[in-house]
Structure 1
């Protein structure tokens, strides 16, 4: 059951991201069927997001590298939960998700998705 506090926090996060953010896309690549084979299927999901560069004090060269972005993605209206392996398009650049936090404080309501994106090769 959703906790009313987290539903309000989700609405607040959505308002702030809509005000200060931009339209973007989260693309999920579904691998081919292991038995039947085929081509991987790329499915885009429209999202509202805020990409921000990491502060220099957090960049250690291993976990967080120069060029990595911290991307806040509104959970409202997003059909999927962004996860490692997905690609986020923001500012015209593709970022592969290398780490993420769904921020489900009550275990049910995703307040906001915060992911670490690395420029996709």
Structure 2
């Protein structure tokens, strides 16, 4: 019986994203200290990604809105796991992550991150 090789799938996903994608960033915003206050800290993590508009048939106006992007982010070399609350920079715009799917089939290796991004305010 053949076994599923997550690292091989991760390498394939990275190659495709690298070939057809663009350089971008995932920004994580850390809120100010609840006691001492201060400004939120923004940490930017470089990423290779492919932003794609949703097809009209998937846009329902509620879960997926006009302008939302489906963003494939390579997990290779990315220091964090993109999550709701993070902001992805792609196509010269900032997209707040609304939902995400880490595609961690064996529970350990992140093959590719697929997130739904919405224009950030």
TM-score, normalization by structure 2: 0.95
**Residue of structure 1 equivalent to 2:16:** 16
State yes or no: 1:43 paired with 2:38. no
> How far apart, CA to CA, are the structure 1 residues paired with 2:36 and 2:88?
29
> How far apart, CA to CA, are the structure 1 residues paired with 2:76 and 2:4?
15
1:56-96 Cα distance to aligned partner (Å, 9 max, x none): 11100000000000000000000000000110010101100
State yes or no: 1:117 paired with 2:82. no
Listed as ranges, the gaps of 5+ residues in structure 1 are: none
**Residue of structure 1 equivalent to 2:70:** 70
Listed as ranges, the gaps of 5+ residues in structure 2 are: none
Off by >3 Å, runs of 4+ in structure 1: none
> Following TM superposition, by how much is the alpha carbon of 1:33 offset from its aligned partner in structure 2, in angstroms?
1.5
Aligned length: 119
**Residue of structure 2 equivalent to 1:104:** 104
Of 58-67 and 32-41, deviating more is 32-41
> How far apart, CA to CA, are the structure 2 residues paired with 1:108 and 1:115?
18
